[in-house]
Structure 1
Amino acid sequence: MLNIDVEEIQLPLAHITLAAKRYGQADKPVILALHGWLDNVDSFIPLAQAFAQQGLFDKFQLMCIDWPGHGLSDHRPGRYPLHWVDYIYDLQAVIHTLSQETGPIILLGHSLGGIVASAYNACVADNIHKLILIEALAPLSESATQAKDRLRKGLQQQQRFNRQLARATPTYSSMDIAIQARHQLTGLALPWCEIITKRNMAVTDGHYSWRSDPRLKLDSLNRYTFEQVDALMTISDTPSLLIVGHDGFKQLTASTEQANNWFSNIDIVHLAGDHHLHMGNAEQVAKSIGAFILNSR
């Protein structure tokens, strides 16, 4: 493993404090990395190692943030359900903080992080120099006919969740048990589960418990229709890179042709790997990113 400059930092925003990791030197242009659902900044460790091998830290720094309720970041207050659009407000605050020192940034997002990044870029592209999406393209959508069932089921789920909160927080006797639990929940390969789980766990008197906000497992009460997503996404001229795994989300693979309708300047790369190919195939992902960000366009 290469020796990389890495720093744990705190970002005290007006509404919440987020934890982050910086790889490389603080005076370099920023690549801001946004992780996926139930992940954290450590999901970018393999990619950071691959960046170092390619010498990208000679020209850039990699700033990775823990979303609220993930990793070491604060949780949102209260017990109300969480919504993906709230992350756009967090992102706006982070970019405003960073851009005062660095100017426009390169925005990189995986999965949920990519969804948030693409939606933000669609509305506030002036702050984005380049956009990199890994296994993500745009906000998820569904038919308007699903709205009533989604809201009703979401409220029922919230009621069950509130009853669960009255019980004692479940704990594990070892980290390995928690890692296996994450593996069974998401199907993520065990080595990557270990990397991510360790940052998402708290240890008290030798017992392990999830640090993550339990509300993250609740379904959204609302989802855009395709017409809303299409209106939001049309059309961006930000230089963009979409990286898709051969064994990633099939819905994403089927919709990549839509990317050319939403982005006037986009490269689409298909690589070996699953939904977390930036971990399992970090070298090839880093090569694709390096070629893209070093391009003068």
Structure 2
Amino acid sequence: MLNTGLNVDATEFQLTLAHINIAAKRYGHANNPIILALHGWLDNADSFAPLAHEFQQLGLFNSHQLICIDWPGHGLSEHRPGRYPLHWVDYIYDLQAVIQAISTDNQPIILIGHSLGGIIASAYNACMPEHVAKLILIEALAPLFESAEHAKSRLRNGLVQQARFNRQLARPTPTYSSMDVAIQARHQLTGLALPWCELITRRNMQLIDDKCAWRSDPRLKLDSLNRFTFEQVDALMTRSNTATLFIGAIDGYKQLTLTEQHANTWFTDIKMVTLAGDHHLHMGNARQVAESIGAFILN
């Protein structure tokens, strides 16, 4: 049974976009300036519930509202049609459509992105900065990159993996005897604390014949067919004038150290903060993360 101590009201709603339906949650008053939160890979909107709780405790909802979406294929949002492989760049199009749907009079909004959500937010800000009032990146700074020499093997491996996946679709959907079994499975796979595994897992699951099954699009676990080179990322990211806050975790993803050295090249106005916690520090250390964000937003 979930026992996180969270106590914050949220309104569930749907965004009917031209190409897909997106599930979302709103915290705070709908007339306030928007903070849009973008979750990470295989997470969902509820990964921001601890942060929303702390925002409320800090009084941030007196001046702002927080909207958290489920990316396509995550949480309660629709899956992309067809069986084609997914690519992170497609989420930038989703983000543009979401901002157009929620923004009043085309006013810039504040973006918060965690992990994959931060990658998407940083890339969107790089090319469409006029729509971003402030940028907050949690355990992410820029798109992932790799050497061009991996292009052929990545594409081949992705196609082989996709063919194997298509054969697996003919099999019955895997199920769990109870929600607790699924929660434990995510905990063992990721090491994320059990209360947070439960919070995320419940929104990503569905009932099939009285058994639990993942609602998430299984294609999310397939490798990308393509990844940018550093030269492409560097050209994209150079140079943003958007006021930016980067929040990293002491025990977070070590790969971030490869990109942090470029922060002052890619952003003219960036504040770098490192806090206690792991990759999901916005859940496990939500108070300090909320305080850092609050000070940045209200400054």
**TM score, norm. by length of structure 1:** 0.97
- Deviation of 1:191 (Å): 1.5
Match in the other structure for 1:235: 239
2:135 aligned with 1:135: no
Q: Give the aligned partner of residue 187 of structure 1.
A: 191
Pick one of 10, 35, 45 that aligns with 2:14. 10
Local SS of the residue matching 2:37: strand
1:174 maps to 2:164:
no
The CA distance in 2 between the partners of 1:117 and 1:153, in whole Å, is 28
Question: How much does 1:184 deviate?
Answer: 2.6
CA–CA distance in structure 2, aligned partners of residues 132 and 121 of structure 1 = 11
Aligned equivalents of 1:268 and 1:219: distance in 2? Answer: 30
| Mapping 1:25-104, distance limit 5 Å | 25-101=29-105, 103-104=107-108
Gaps of 5+ in 2: none
CA contact (8 A) 2:75 2:204 kept: yes
Give the aligned partner of residue 25 of structure 2.
Answer: 21
Question: Is the contact made by 2:6 and 2:49 (CA closer than 8 Å) also made in structure 1?
Answer: no
Report deviation, 1:5.
Answer: 3.4
TM-score (norm 2): 0.97
- 2:175 equivalent to 1:204: no
Whether the aligned pair in 1 keeps the contact of 2:6 and 2:50 (CA below 8 Å) is no
Cα offset for 1:190?
1.6
Percent identity of the aligned residues?
A: 73
Residues 137, 242 of structure 1: 8 Å contact kept: yes
Q: Deviations over 1:68-109 (max 9, x none)?
A: 000000000000000000000000000111123571100000
Alignment of 1:248-263 (within 5 A): 248-263=252-267
User: 2:250 aligns to what?
Assistant: 246
1:144 counterpart letter in structure 2: A
Q: Check if 1:224 corresponds to 2:260.
A: no
Question: Retained in 2: the 8 A contact 1:2–1:53?
Answer: no
Query: Which aligned segments of 4 or more residues in structure 1 are displaced greater than 2 angstroms?
Result: 1-5, 184-187
Aligned residue pairs: how many? 295
Q: Give the residue type in structure 1 aligned to 2:215.
A: R
Contact 1:5–1:25 (8 Å) recurs in 2: no
Give yes or no for contact 1:244–1:253 (8 Å, CA) kept in 2: no
Choose which of 114, 117, 127 in structure 2 pairs with 1:113. Answer: 117
Structure-2 change in CA distance of 1:277 and 1:2 (3 Å): closer
Task: Measure how far apart 1:254 and its partner are.
Answer: 4.1
Residues 100, 106 of structure 2: 8 Å contact kept: no
Query: Which is worse superposed, 176-185 or 285-294?
Result: 176-185
Segments of 5+ residues of structure 1 without an aligned counterpart are: none
Secondary structure at the aligned position of 2:49 is classed as: helix
Using the TM superposition, give the Cα deviation of residue 253 of structure 1 relative to its aligned residue in structure 2, in angstroms: 3.0
* Structure 1 letter corresponding to 2:217: D
Please state whether the residue corresponding to 1:100 is helix, strand or coil: coil
- The offset of 1:161, in angstroms, is 0.4
- What secondary structure is seen at the aligned counterpart in 1 of 2:164? helix
Q: Aligned Cα RMSD in Å?
A: 1.1
Deviation at 1:63, TM superposition (A): 0.2
One of 151, 154, 158 as aligned partner of 1:150? 154
User: Which residue in 1 is equivalent to 2:288?
Assistant: 284
Give the conservation status (yes or no) of the 8 Å contact 1:133–1:242: yes
